[in-house]
């Protein structure tokens, strides 16, 4: 197999459509892999699409057709040789021509394409042209043909197999990309090649690892196939199998006794084993093709055996039930080709930094890249993979049925080797949509996608990767028909908790005890640095035009304002509003996480909406589009800590729940103090913990701790080693905080600054918003409670030289208390 990458010499032209005069007729250098917007940006023909209101100026691109062209040198095909033009991914509605000959047309960005070019290829210079039609116009045509079906955002994203959020989402820009988004190359081969390789990995009860290697083989000349030999090596074990002439598949099984098990983060190590497979002629001779993968040995199941409450949904790895501490993952940049391996590594590190062990690749995005699963394999992040369907009814007719089948087969096979991949899920919220969002009335009997989720996709997973669990939808009830129990029922399977955020105060998270919460979240703006990098309104306010364009949620600002009103004082300035909404986001989500964790093992998962952003925007993300952690990220780091102390209502009383997500028992005294804000101790108790590994135990609290003399200025502080919980007796709005209880001193240390902060009176949610001073500045912790008389040291990492005075200034050193102080602005 000889591979020739075809990534150079590409030129882009906006072919037809409402193209502005300064772009029309221009041909610019094109990047492959890449996309048209990025090429125009590099050529200086458009403003950065993320900047201020540039998104609005780019609507012409929705209805534009694009032409990518290059010329490459090649040799003509030799006798007996196959030459293929292989595209790993085209976004999306493309016609491919080589030397004026149409090779084919595509309409699915989620799959690869391969064309036999023996006849079209010339000796010497070859002209390759890929023309992209407007995916929107294509989708509108399909909609005309098959009949409209509901979709939650304006464009019919459900009519074309293109990332749904390409067309805009409630956190994403409506910038409809087009381009050759994955590698393209010429492949020359003889006799046969490995078309697909599926290592199905299992572990026997005696600890023997098994790799069942399924190879699909393509013969260069199906009319004269030859006998072949498939070889494989894993962990020093070798095996081979003869593939009789004409066979197009082979299975080779390797058993490896005493394998080291792969575990998710927090449960053990992530040993990975190299797997090499080769294909040779049956009578020997040099290798015809070879493929490398890395595998990890583990079993992952989801336990849905009915119990006294209903139907659980418990991820179980190597026989150990795991509480999923996770977040939903969206494409990390709307322009997918900019998401480098380094960028994904940083994001996964942030997930781990917040003690997560699971990411859910959400169905409005893509089947992620090899880099993503590789890094999750290496770092022990379980991956829940949605098939790309979200928030719409989808036609089951052609051409979509075949496209879905083809993309699913390809991706299930492609991802089968990854140890991190835990389960497949049919779609996001579509069964729920059918039940609750008026779809049946709109559909009047037309198809809406159910057969994808209950027939096509599960049969493909069962056939190609029977080692993995398949969930029909998120949310859904395993094993219960849709019309019997509501798909979002808290007692069965997975649940999305969206009444908080949309309608209700976050304290109502406690009204439901889901078996597994696979989506819940609350919005907040991006960090100040990210916001002001991209939004330049004068003055900058929550309703200034660019700020609003970077807030996509329906009544988003209204929900933010109503969301904090019962909890935090009304902010006087934009700076205060920014901090207030960020803080309320962090508190709201942490409130949910602590509630869910406290109910383990009845509740077995907490998957926050959402880890990341795809551009600078006000959203539910913990990490913003500039890659900076928002206060929410720090709140998650606390709420997902392996050892958590949390106060929860049980049976009419407030109890302490100690949650131990470690392999060791958690024993030791919790020191409980009811304090006046000024530090006067009003009541004390000691609670001896004895919490078994991976369990949550409630402890009663003495009345003396729970009965304040003055609820407006007392706090209950519970401390055990590094774990601490504070409990207030009123909402912040009703508290008589000292508005300025902190004294602080910043000193330069290696790699940044240390800030020692001392509280004269109880201070809540103390934060250092270092990004306000330098774009790279990041603090190690945030939202720290500091009881009266205590000092906390923060560390800010930065390469910048900062004025230590500024690090303790009122817009940088923040707290909940400060919101009770007279306003300060920059």
| Closer residue to ligand BMA (CB): 173 or 364 | 364
Cα(457)–Cα(47) distance, integer angstroms = 41
| Closer residue to ligand BMA (CB): 152 or 740 | 152
Minimum distance from residue 428 beta carbon to ligand BMA (Å): 5
Residue 79 and residue 118 in contact, taking contact as beta carbons nearer than 8 Å: no
| Closer residue to ligand BMA (CB): 168 or 395 | 168
Residue 301 and residue 322 in contact, taking contact as beta carbons nearer than 8 Å: no
| Closer residue to ligand BMA (CB): 609 or 640 | 609
Minimum distance from residue 381 beta carbon to ligand BMA (Å): 20
DSSP H/E element including 329: strand 324-329
Cα(550)–Cα(616) distance, integer angstroms = 7
| CB neighbour class for 238 (10 Å; exposed up to 12, middle 13-18, buried from 19) | exposed
Minimum distance from residue 469 beta carbon to ligand BMA (Å): 20
- Distances in Å between the Cα of 774 and the Cα atoms of 172, 430, 472, 777, 802 are 26, 43, 46, 5, 8
| Closer residue to ligand BMA (CB): 65 or 429 | 429
Minimum distance from residue 171 beta carbon to ligand BMA (Å): 6
Minimum distance from residue 433 beta carbon to ligand BMA (Å): 10
Minimum distance from residue 519 beta carbon to ligand BMA (Å): 5
User: How far does Cα 283 stand from its chain's mean position?
Assistant: 48
Minimum distance from residue 502 beta carbon to ligand BMA (Å): 8
Count of H helices and E strands in the chain? 18, 42
Q: Is the peptide bond before 399 cis (omega within 30 degrees of 0)?
A: yes
Cα(392)–Cα(139) distance, integer angstroms = 14
Tokens of 103: 């090779």
| Closer residue to ligand BMA (CB): 556 or 631 | 556
Minimum distance from residue 298 beta carbon to ligand BMA (Å): 28
For every residue of 549-603, which 3-state class applies, written as one string? HCECCCCHHHHHHHHHCCCCCCCCCHHHHHHHHHHHHHHHHHHHHHHHHHCCCCC
| Closer residue to ligand BMA (CB): 429 or 575 | 429
Minimum distance from residue 570 beta carbon to ligand BMA (Å): 25
Beta pairing class for 209-219 and 249-256: antiparallel
For every residue of 768-806, which 3-state class applies, written as one string? ECHHHCCCCCEECCCCEEECCCCEEEEEEECCCCCCHHH
DSSP H/E element including 251: strand 249-256
User: How far does Cα 571 stand from its chain's mean position?
Assistant: 32
What residue ranges bind ligand BMA (CB under 6 A)? 169-171, 364, 390-391, 428-429, 519, 609, 620
Select from 274, 268, 270, 227 the least CA-distant residue to 254.
Answer: 274
Select from 523, 527, 526 the least CA-distant residue to 772.
Answer: 527
> Catalytic: 429?
yes
Beta pairing class for 469-471 and 421-425: parallel
Tokens of 140: 């509108």
Minimum distance from residue 521 beta carbon to ligand BMA (Å): 7
For CA atoms 489, 495, 496, 497, give the dihedral sign.
positive
Q: Is the peptide bond before 475 cis (omega within 30 degrees of 0)?
A: yes
Minimum distance from residue 609 beta carbon to ligand BMA (Å): 5
Among candidate residues 429, 490, 497, 575, the one labeled active-site is 429
Q: Note the helical H segments in 394-494.
A: 400-415, 430-436, 439-443, 450-451, 457-464
Task: Give the three-state DSSP class for 632.
Answer: helix
| Closer residue to ligand BMA (CB): 171 or 372 | 171
First to last CA, the chain: 62
The length of the chain in residues reads 826
- The set of catalytic residues is 429
């Amino acid at each position: 197999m000889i591979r020739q990458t075809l990534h150079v010499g590409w030129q882009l032209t906006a072919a037809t459509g409402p193209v502005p005069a300064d772009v029309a007729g221009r041909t610019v250098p094109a990047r492959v892999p890449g996309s048209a917007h990025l090429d125009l940006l590099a050529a200086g023909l458009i403003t950065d699409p993320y900047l201020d209101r540039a998104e609005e100026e780019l609507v012409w691109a929705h209805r534009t057709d694009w032409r990518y062209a290059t010329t490459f040198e090649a040799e003509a095909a030799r006798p007996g040789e196959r030459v293929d033009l292989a595209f790993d991914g085209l976004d999306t509605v493309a016609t491919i021509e080589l030397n004026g000959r149409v090779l084919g047309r595509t309409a699915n960005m989620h799959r690869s394409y391969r064309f036999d070019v023996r006849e079209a290829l010339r000796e010497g210079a070859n002209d390759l042209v890929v023309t992209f039609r407007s995916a929107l116009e294509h989708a509108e045509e399909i909609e005309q043909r098959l009949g409209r079906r509901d979709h939650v955002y304006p464009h019919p994203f459900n009519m074309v197999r293109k990332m749904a959020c390409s067309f805009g989402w409630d956190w994403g820009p409506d910038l409809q990309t087009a381009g050759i988004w994955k590698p393209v190359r010429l492949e020359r081969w003889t006799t046969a090649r490995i078309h697909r390789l599926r290592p199905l990995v299992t572990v026997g009860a005696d600890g023997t690892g098994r790799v069942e290697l399924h190879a699909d083989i393509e013969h260069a000349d199906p009319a004269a196939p030859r006998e072949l030999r498939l070889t494989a090596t894993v962990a020093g074990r070798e095996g081979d199998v003869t593939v009789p002439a004409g066979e197009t598949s082979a299975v080779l099984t390797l058993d490896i006794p005493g394998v080291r098990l792969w575990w998710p983060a927090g449960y053990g190590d992530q040993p990975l084993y190299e797997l090499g497979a080769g294909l040779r002629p049956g009578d020997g001779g040099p290798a015809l093709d070879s493929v490398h993968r890395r595998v990890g040995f583990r079993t992952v199941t989801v336990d849905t055996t009915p119990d006294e409450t209903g139907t659980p949904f418990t991820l179980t790895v190597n026989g150990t039930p795991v509480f999923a501490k996770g977040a939903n993952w969206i494409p990390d940049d709307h322009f997918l080709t900019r998401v480098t391996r380094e960028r994904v590594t940083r994001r996964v590190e942030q997930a781990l930094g917040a003690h997560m062990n699971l990411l859910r690749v959400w169905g409005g995005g893509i089947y992620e890249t090899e880099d993503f699963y590789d890094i999750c394999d290496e770092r022990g992040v379980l991956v829940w993979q949605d098939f790309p369907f979200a928030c719409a009814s989808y036609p089951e007719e052609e051409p979509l049925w075949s496209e879905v089948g083809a993309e699913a087969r390809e991706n299930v096979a492609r991802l089968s080797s990854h140890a991190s991949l835990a389960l497949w899920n049919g779609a996001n919220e579509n069964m729920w949509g059918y039940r609750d969002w008026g779809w049946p009335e709109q559909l009047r009997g037309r198809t809406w996608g159910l057969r994808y989720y209950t027939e096509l996709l599960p049969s493909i997973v069962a056939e190609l990767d029977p080692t993995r669990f398949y969930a029909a939808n998120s949310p859904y009830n395993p094993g219960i028909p849709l019309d019997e129990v509501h798909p979002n029922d808290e007692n069965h399977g997975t649940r999305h908790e969206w009444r908080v955020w949309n309608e209700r105060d976050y304290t109502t998270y406690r009204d439901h005890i889901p078996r597994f919460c696979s989506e819940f979240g609350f919005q907040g703006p991006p960090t100040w640095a990210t916001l002001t990098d991209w939004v330049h309104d004068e003055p900058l306010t929550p309703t200034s035009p660019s700020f609003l364009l970077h807030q996509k949620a329906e009544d988003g600002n209204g929900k933010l304002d109503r969301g904090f009103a019962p909890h935090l004082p009304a902010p006087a300035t934009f700076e205060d509003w920014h901090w207030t909404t960020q803080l309320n986001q962090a508190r709201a989500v942490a409130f949910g996480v602590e509630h869910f964790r406290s109910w383990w093992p009845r509740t077995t998962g907490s998957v926050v909406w959402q880890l990341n952003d795809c551009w600078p925007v006000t959203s539910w993300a913990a990490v913003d589009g500039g890659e900076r952690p928002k206060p929410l990220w720090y709140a998650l780091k606390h709420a997902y800590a392996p050892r958590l102390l949390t106060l929860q209502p049980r049976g009419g009383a407030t109890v302490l729940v100690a949650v131990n997500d470690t392999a060791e028992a958690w024993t030791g005294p919790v020191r409980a103090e009811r304090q006046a804000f000024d530090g006067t101790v009003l009541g004390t108790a000691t609670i001896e913990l004895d919490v078994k590994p991976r369990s949550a135990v409630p402890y009663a609290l003495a009345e003396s701790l729970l009965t304040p003399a003055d609820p407006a200025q007392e706090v209950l502080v519970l401390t055990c080693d590094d774990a601490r919980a504070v409990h207030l007796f009123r909402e912040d709005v009703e508290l008589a905080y000292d508005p300025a209880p902190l004294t602080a001193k910043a000193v330069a240390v290696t790699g940044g600054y240390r800030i020692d902060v001392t509280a004269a009176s109880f201070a809540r949610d103390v934060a250092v918003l270092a990004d306000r001073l330098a774009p790279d500045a990041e603090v190690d912790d945030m939202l720290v409670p500091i009881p009266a008389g205590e000092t906390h040291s923060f560390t800010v990492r930065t390469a910048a030289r900062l004025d230590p005075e500024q690090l303790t200034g009122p817009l940088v050193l923040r707290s909940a208390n400060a919101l009770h102080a007279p306003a300060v602005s920059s």
